Amino acid sequence: MIVVDKRKYKMAINESAKEVHVQVHGLMREEDAEGYMIDLQDTISKVSKHEYTFVVDGTHQTPVPSKVVPQLEQTMQFYSSLGFKDILVVKPSSKIAQVQIRNALERIKFTGTFIDQLPHSM
Protein backbone atom coordinates (compact mmCIF):
# COMPACT_ATOMS: atom_id res chain seq x y z
CA MET A 1 0.00 0.00 0.00
CA ILE A 2 1.47 3.34 -1.06
CA VAL A 3 1.33 5.79 1.82
CA VAL A 4 3.14 8.77 0.28
CA ASP A 5 3.36 9.57 -3.43
CA LYS A 6 5.22 12.81 -4.11
CA ARG A 7 7.13 14.00 -7.17
CA LYS A 8 10.55 13.27 -5.62
CA TYR A 9 9.77 10.19 -3.54
CA LYS A 10 7.32 7.41 -2.70
CA MET A 11 6.82 5.50 0.53
CA ALA A 12 4.91 2.25 0.87
CA ILE A 13 4.13 -0.33 3.51
CA ASN A 14 4.00 -3.96 2.38
CA GLU A 15 2.27 -5.66 5.31
CA SER A 16 2.41 -9.19 3.90
CA ALA A 17 6.19 -9.00 3.37
CA LYS A 18 6.67 -6.88 6.53
CA GLU A 19 8.59 -4.20 4.61
CA VAL A 20 8.59 -0.43 4.46
CA HIS A 21 9.72 0.81 1.03
CA VAL A 22 11.17 4.23 0.33
CA GLN A 23 11.95 5.20 -3.26
CA VAL A 24 13.73 8.41 -4.22
CA HIS A 25 13.50 9.82 -7.76
CA GLY A 26 16.24 12.04 -9.13
CA LEU A 27 18.09 14.49 -6.95
CA MET A 28 16.79 15.26 -3.48
CA ARG A 29 17.22 18.98 -2.76
CA GLU A 30 17.42 20.59 0.64
CA GLU A 31 13.89 21.97 0.29
CA ASP A 32 12.59 18.44 -0.44
CA ALA A 33 14.39 16.92 2.53
CA GLU A 34 12.23 18.48 5.24
CA GLY A 35 8.96 17.14 3.80
CA TYR A 36 10.65 13.80 3.16
CA MET A 37 11.69 13.49 6.82
CA ILE A 38 8.19 14.39 8.03
CA ASP A 39 6.61 11.84 5.66
CA LEU A 40 9.20 9.23 6.65
CA GLN A 41 8.52 9.65 10.39
CA ASP A 42 4.79 9.44 9.72
CA THR A 43 5.16 6.31 7.55
CA ILE A 44 7.41 4.39 9.93
CA SER A 45 5.23 5.25 12.92
CA LYS A 46 2.56 2.98 11.36
CA VAL A 47 4.61 -0.23 11.74
CA SER A 48 6.36 -2.25 14.41
CA LYS A 49 9.96 -1.52 13.36
CA HIS A 50 11.59 -4.54 15.02
CA GLU A 51 9.38 -6.80 12.85
CA TYR A 52 9.86 -4.92 9.56
CA THR A 53 12.63 -4.57 6.98
CA PHE A 54 13.34 -1.05 5.74
CA VAL A 55 13.95 -1.00 1.97
CA VAL A 56 15.59 2.04 0.39
CA ASP A 57 15.10 1.75 -3.37
CA GLY A 58 17.79 3.94 -4.92
CA THR A 59 17.22 2.64 -8.47
CA HIS A 60 16.21 6.07 -9.80
CA GLN A 61 18.53 8.13 -7.62
CA THR A 62 20.93 10.38 -9.51
CA PRO A 63 24.47 11.31 -8.43
CA VAL A 64 24.58 14.01 -5.79
CA PRO A 65 26.88 17.08 -5.92
CA SER A 66 29.98 16.62 -3.76
CA LYS A 67 28.74 19.22 -1.26
CA VAL A 68 25.66 17.02 -0.61
CA VAL A 69 27.63 13.82 0.06
CA PRO A 70 27.80 14.48 3.85
CA GLN A 71 23.98 14.66 3.89
CA LEU A 72 23.88 11.31 2.11
CA GLU A 73 26.01 9.85 4.92
CA GLN A 74 23.79 11.44 7.57
CA THR A 75 20.67 10.04 5.89
CA MET A 76 22.12 6.51 5.76
CA GLN A 77 23.24 6.85 9.39
CA PHE A 78 19.72 7.98 10.27
CA TYR A 79 18.20 4.95 8.48
CA SER A 80 20.55 2.70 10.48
CA SER A 81 19.37 4.28 13.75
CA LEU A 82 15.64 3.73 13.14
CA GLY A 83 15.56 0.29 14.76
CA PHE A 84 14.31 -1.82 11.87
CA LYS A 85 14.88 -5.59 11.84
CA ASP A 86 16.96 -5.19 8.66
CA ILE A 87 17.79 -2.52 6.09
CA LEU A 88 18.17 -3.15 2.36
CA VAL A 89 19.55 -0.47 0.05
CA VAL A 90 18.94 -1.09 -3.66
CA LYS A 91 21.79 0.13 -5.86
CA PRO A 92 21.01 3.06 -8.16
CA SER A 93 21.15 2.45 -11.93
CA SER A 94 23.72 5.24 -12.12
CA LYS A 95 27.26 3.90 -11.51
CA ILE A 96 28.33 7.26 -10.03
CA ALA A 97 25.40 7.29 -7.60
CA GLN A 98 26.22 3.65 -6.70
CA VAL A 99 29.79 4.59 -5.78
CA GLN A 100 28.60 7.61 -3.76
CA ILE A 101 26.19 5.50 -1.73
CA ARG A 102 28.64 2.63 -1.29
CA ASN A 103 31.31 5.05 -0.04
CA ALA A 104 28.83 6.72 2.33
CA LEU A 105 27.80 3.31 3.70
CA GLU A 106 31.42 2.31 4.27
CA ARG A 107 32.14 5.51 6.21
CA ILE A 108 29.23 5.05 8.64
CA LYS A 109 29.60 1.34 9.48
CA PHE A 110 26.26 0.51 7.84
CA THR A 111 24.67 -2.65 9.25
CA GLY A 112 22.20 -3.31 6.41
CA THR A 113 22.74 -4.83 2.96
CA PHE A 114 23.51 -3.13 -0.38
CA ILE A 115 21.67 -5.17 -3.05
CA ASP A 116 21.52 -5.07 -6.86
CA GLN A 117 17.73 -5.18 -7.15
CA LEU A 118 14.61 -5.99 -5.22
CA PRO A 119 13.56 -9.64 -5.21
CA HIS A 120 9.97 -8.44 -5.85
CA SER A 121 8.44 -5.15 -6.98
CA MET A 122 6.85 -2.48 -4.81
- CATH number of the domain within which 57 lies: 3.30.750.24
pLDDT digits (tens, 9 = 90+) for 6-18: 988 999 999 999 9
pLDDT digits (tens, 9 = 90+) for 97-120: 999 999 999 999 888 999 998 876
Whether 121 is covered by a domain: the verdict is no
* Model confidence at 122: pLDDT above 60: no
Reported pTM? 0.89
Single out the residue of 94, 93, 87 nearest to residue 113, CA to CA: 87
Residues 49 and 90: their CA atoms lie apart, in Å, by 19
Domain containing residue 44: 2-115
Q: Alpha helices of the chain — where are they, by DSSP H?
A: 30-44, 69-80, 95-107
3-state secondary structure of 76: helix
